[in-house]
Amino acid sequence: MLLIDEEGTAIQGFVPAGRVGTFDLTDGVVYKLNNFFGSRSKVQYRVADHIATVSFTWNSDLAVLDNPPVPFPEDRFRFHGYEEFRANCDSRGDLYDYVGHMKLVNGQTISDHIVLDEVDISEKRHICVHVQTHDGPVMKLYIWDKAASDFCQKFKSYGGTPIVLLVTTVNPKHLGAGTLALTTMSSSRVFMDADVQPSKDYLEWLSSNSDIANRVAAEVVTKPETVTLGEIFSYIKQEGSKVAWFECTATIDDVVQGSAWYYISCGGCNSKAVKGPTSLICNSKKCGKREVTGVAQYLTKISVYDESEQAVFVVLGDAGKELTGKHALELVASYFESNAGVDADHCVPVPQALLDAIGQKRRFIVKVSDHNLTGKTQTLTVTKILPPEAPQPIEHLEEKANPSRGFEDAAGDMVRKASERLESGEAKRPKSG
């Protein structure tokens, strides 16, 4: 508990497990406490600045004061900003409070049309909110369990969409290569726009400074962190890591062959379609249509490497088109058109459009999934492949040529140097695993 006395001093309260339920306590009510002892607060996860803790004993007694002689402050918050959270990151020390405005809720931009999927939130047990204080950096706030349920209830209770979020006793942690995130604890409570005075004050500031609040766009907020393959695998090994998206640059070493590079999906939800007695059936429980139109979708494994590590990526859906410039359906249809006698169940070999990607250096958005974190697979899912960077302009041969020598000699030197660079690059290139 967080207790506040008539002098405004906030101190942590502790009820032993054997006496939980003995006291009928209500937050905000004023009590007179008899028979307690003080002990030094533990250094881990403190919720008050005071070094002492009020501990209830076997004979502690509480009496409600209906008309307290002095006014008591209703709330006491300990707000921190980005820099203080970063300084206390991973320390398992004091738990501080956060107030700011929401940018995204589970990836959705704050608007009048935002809808929370409470079933999905209940299954995952958390909500991810991108939050910002004034004009500071945007942080991820993971709201867990009961606090997540409270968030949903409060969010729905407002006539419009709430903007300001105040959460108590959050724990700053590093998720990924230097990414600062806040996570709620069992003691965390959630407040919004007009719930308490600090959130009202922030809402008033926000209405007068909307230009500052809107300075960071949603696409900037969701931009994945740029890391190496080695840093991704280091993140996966970290205790407490969660599902996350990263951007990395890697060279395509090979396209894995010997297995299907595509799958047949439900034309409605893109889940895998399976053969039924007379038609294709959607394999998704949420969709579950008995008759669907099958559509070929990319499910292609590629081997990649960078300066730090090698990895296997699986390229899904639209990411495959971003790599080859063609839909999987187009490539499959083209194969069957060119091989009219082939049975419909025949597995289409890896098309040339995919093989042409070998040797390309591309920027990938990859997802670290639950399967990676539980050790079931090290294969990373590619959700997007960014377009290649425009090549640097090539200088004219005449600018490179030595006027005292012939054109052929100058061009020959350039070809020789280019060949040496290629050989050097091939020597440094990691071998495929």
- pLDDT at position 390: 59
- pLDDT at position 287: 63
Check whether residue 94 and residue 212 sit in a common domain: yes
Strand partners, 381: 314, 367
Check whether residue 375 and residue 239 sit in a common domain: yes
Strand partners, 9: none
Check whether residue 177 and residue 254 sit in a common domain: no
Computed on alpha carbons and rounded to an integer, the radius of gyration of the chain in Å comes to 30
Check whether residue 165 and residue 245 sit in a common domain: no
* Residue 284 belongs to some domain of the structure: yes
> Of 303, 430, 429, which is closest to residue 354 (Cα–Cα)?
303
Check whether residue 233 and residue 251 sit in a common domain: yes
How many distinct structural domains can be found in the chain? 4
Give 10-residue mean pLDDT values along the chain (433 residues): 80 81 79 86 77 85 82 78 82 85 86 78 87 87 92 86 92 72 90 91 90 74 84 88 87 89 79 75 67 84 94 91 91 86 78 93 92 90 84 48 43 43 40 37
CATH number at residue 370: 2.40.50.140
* Residue 301 belongs to some domain of the structure: yes
Say if CB 107 and CB 223 are below 8 A apart. Answer: no
Check whether residue 240 and residue 381 sit in a common domain: yes
* Residue 75 belongs to some domain of the structure: no
* Residue 73 belongs to some domain of the structure: no
Residue type, 67: N
Distance CA 88, CA 43 (A): 13
Which residue segment(s) compose the domain that 59 sits in?
Answer: 2-64
- pLDDT at position 198: 92
- pLDDT at position 402: 45
- pLDDT at position 411: 40
Check whether residue 272 and residue 360 sit in a common domain: yes
* Residue 292 belongs to some domain of the structure: yes
Check whether residue 188 and residue 327 sit in a common domain: no
- pLDDT at position 199: 93
| Domain termination site, one of 221, 249, 277 | 221
